[in-house]
Structure 1
């Protein structure tokens, strides 16, 4: 109740904040420390504050290292030398390409703007020259591995046809009535080896190289038939020139060695069929990611036909012949 007894209108009591015990003790310590300090004597006997109490890390002055003119000139000279070496390297590369182009043009091996054929790899003294240009480095990296696999499949295809000739020859030696199979096996080897290269390997090579929709569609059309041919060859219908399973099993009772050879070839034909189906799926998956379509294939075909010089010459010749024939008839009339 003492709080209610005081007069609220009375003057407030002056309170000296410096009369507090803690404040008085702090000010007395500061006075004692300053009393013994003489700025001219160079000797301080008072209490000092350690450095570790004020700062945990010392202040570091960042000094800027200025490059001397001599060092700057040396660095600039090094840059100029490096740029000169790069320019000389590019000039040498351009000279080398120009020299190769002039050599090809002078020898007549290649027309201007074309690349020199390098496949099949034949010796220089051979009268037969390479017919195609092949370089897997010009294939995009995403498709290069698949393109190489297609090339290896073609090589395996050709080797199987050659072994088929040997198997049919062995079969012909045991049965003189099987000359038809031996003759057809030679025909299949001579015919299907280059046809497979031109009709389904080169189209897929061009499709991967230039992302051609027309080449993709042409490859799919031909390769589907190639898979069917592999299946027929692996079956081995008699008198069809294929050392397949049916023909090889029929020889088991007469000659076991020949039957084993023919079974090996039949197994190779089966492997061709299986690998062809697998690679067909892989190529189709990559084709779907390229954005190719049948409409683009039609446009590429029409542009290719209209811009083909042989087609243009043939069309011009046909038009000239038709015009001359019409003029001759009118003149006779």
Structure 2
């Protein structure tokens, strides 16, 4: 009875019929047919999500040191390679300038020494503990003009080639002596040729051509032509290979093939070296002669240089003075008698 009376209460009935006080049982948010939510529920309803706008990446700014790309592919490795190449080029230029400055410094030192000054000898390059010191001063890059440096260098290498050929000739004669003991004379002469031609060729024809190009000396040019021509004749004789002369030329090499094939092959290699030596000697003789004609040297200048050199020699002047004094004393003694 109490329940029925409550339900029939006018206040309760009015509250139940009022739509402003809707409850969860009366509203379904997923049902589109019910219309908009009640005002009491609309305040708490979640708002619709805003559309997400993708963020745009700001444009990259180029710095003053950043390289610009104008249509070519530029990578860090390319920049490193370009920088390395530039550094190598600058280093090569600096080294070239350093060599040029060193050469000029040597030239200034040589001019400062003067014509009568002496330089410390540097050839042959012997170790410090050797009791014998160098005998000559030689510096092609400093003393020889740049237009003649190549020719003088070739002559120097040619001299070394002839010395090595003579040493190989000694080995060839020694190998022949091992299979044929009757060739003892040739072995002895081969030893003599090494000891004689190696130093004499340096002093007699290489040093004259070196001094000729160094000071434009006509006398040294003529000395070189005469001695080197005789040397070339000896080279031709070495190439022929006369038996018993100590040269492993073609005649001796072909004869050695009958005794021992390996020894004959070794001697034939030596004959080839002698042939190349003689041919190169003829070519170099003609080359030096063509350069000699460009320097303006002449036989008259050679005679004048010889006379000046003889009279400027202290030993020659002392000998001439002693001879003159002895002749005068003898003439005075003869007149007194």
TM superposition score category, shorter chain reference: 0.5 to 0.7
Question: Which segment is superposed worse, 276-285 or 178-187?
Answer: 276-285
The structural deviation recorded for 1:203 is 0.4
Confirm whether residue 118 of structure 1 aligns to residue 122 of structure 2. yes
Question: Quick one: distance in 1 between partners of 2:306 and 2:315?
Answer: 15
Instruction: Tell me the residue number matched to 2:184.
Output: 179
Instruction: Tell me the residue number matched to 2:268.
Output: 263
Instruction: Tell me the residue number matched to 2:291.
Output: 286
* Partner residue of 2:199 out of 175, 194, 201: 194
After TM superposition, where is structure 1 displaced by more than 4 Å over at least 4 residues in a row? none
Q: Within 5 A, what are the aligned runs for 1:291-310?
A: 291-310=296-315
Question: Quick one: distance in 2 between partners of 1:174 and 1:321?
Answer: 63
Question: Quick one: distance in 1 between partners of 2:236 and 2:220?
Answer: 24
Question: Quick one: distance in 2 between partners of 1:268 and 1:217?
Answer: 28
3-state SS, counterpart of residue 142 of structure 1: coil
The structural deviation recorded for 1:316 is 1.0
Question: Quick one: distance in 1 between partners of 2:223 and 2:335?
Answer: 45
3-state SS, counterpart of residue 148 of structure 2: helix
* Partner residue of 1:154 out of 146, 153, 159: 159
Question: Quick one: distance in 1 between partners of 2:315 and 2:210?
Answer: 23
Question: Quick one: distance in 2 between partners of 1:328 and 1:242?
Answer: 59
Q: Within 5 A, what are the aligned runs for 1:31-110?
A: none
The structural deviation recorded for 1:328 is 3.8
The structural deviation recorded for 1:323 is 2.6
Question: Quick one: distance in 1 between partners of 2:173 and 2:139?
Answer: 36
Structure 2, unaligned stretches of length 5 or more?
1-104
| 1:219-269 deviation digits (Å, cap 9, x = unpaired) | 011111111000000100001110100000001111001001111111111
The structural deviation recorded for 1:282 is 1.1
3-state SS, counterpart of residue 257 of structure 2: coil
3-state SS, counterpart of residue 147 of structure 2: helix
* Partner residue of 2:208 out of 203, 207, 213: 203
What TM-score, normalized by structure 1, do the two folds share? Answer: 0.66
Question: Quick one: distance in 1 between partners of 2:169 and 2:206?
Answer: 21
Instruction: Tell me the residue number matched to 1:254.
Output: 259
Question: Quick one: distance in 2 between partners of 1:197 and 1:328?
Answer: 49
Question: Quick one: distance in 2 between partners of 1:217 and 1:234?
Answer: 26
3-state SS, counterpart of residue 258 of structure 2: coil
Instruction: Tell me the residue number matched to 2:69.
Output: none
3-state SS, counterpart of residue 141 of structure 1: coil
Instruction: Tell me the residue number matched to 1:47.
Output: none
**Count, aligned residues:** 230
| 1:70-101 deviation digits (Å, cap 9, x = unpaired) | xxxxxxxxxxxxxxxxxxxxxxx89xx7xxx9
Confirm whether residue 130 of structure 1 aligns to residue 131 of structure 2. no
Instruction: Tell me the residue number matched to 1:226.
Output: 231
Instruction: Tell me the residue number matched to 2:85.
Output: none
The structural deviation recorded for 1:330 is 4.2
What TM-score, normalized by structure 2, do the two folds share? Answer: 0.65
Question: Quick one: distance in 2 between partners of 1:235 and 1:292?
Answer: 35
Question: Quick one: distance in 2 between partners of 1:329 and 1:129?
Answer: 51
Rg larger in 1 or in 2?
Answer: 2
